[in-house]
Amino acid sequence: MKKAVFFFAFIIFCQYGFGQGNAKYFELANQAWKLYEAKDYLQSAQTYSKAFNLSGKGLVQDRYNAACSWSLANIKDSSFAELFRITQKGTYNDVDHLTTDSDLFSLHSDKRWAEVVAAAKINKEKAEHSRRNLPTNKN
């Protein structure tokens, strides 16, 4: 029962926490994803940027997708800006996906790539360390 109450409280918090700008953010992020799927990578990346500017934030997965769009549009600086944001300032830690995602292959020869991967590895180690040190519930 407690879990259900916390779940609904979380949902309500998210709705009020993001407000109406949240709806516009998700609308733009969804539009950006559709542009990505249509292989209109530059428009996709620019639409993600509009969503981020509107909210002042951005979900990690959306920023990752924006990095992919920028990369596929061959605008490496913007792609790296998003990747650094989610790895150095965020918690992105899926090293396996990061290093095998063909959308980002054009970045691998850039000297900044090693920094992105290293930051993701640090995040992964921190997450694994946190999971190992969680108290166990023996009820």
Cα torsion 121, 14, 49, 82 to 10°: value is -10
CA–CA gap between residue 84 and residue 116 (Å, rounded): 6
Report pLDDT digits (tens) over 14-41: 544 555 568 999 999 999 999 999 999 9
- Going by pLDDT thresholds of 50, 70 and 90, the confidence category of residue 56 is confident
pTM, entire model: 0.80
CATH 1.25.40 fits 20-132, yes or no: yes
What residues does each domain of the chain span?
A: 20-132
- Contact between 36 and 29 under an 8 Å Cβ cutoff? The reply is no
Report pLDDT digits (tens) over 39-54: 999 999 999 999 999 9
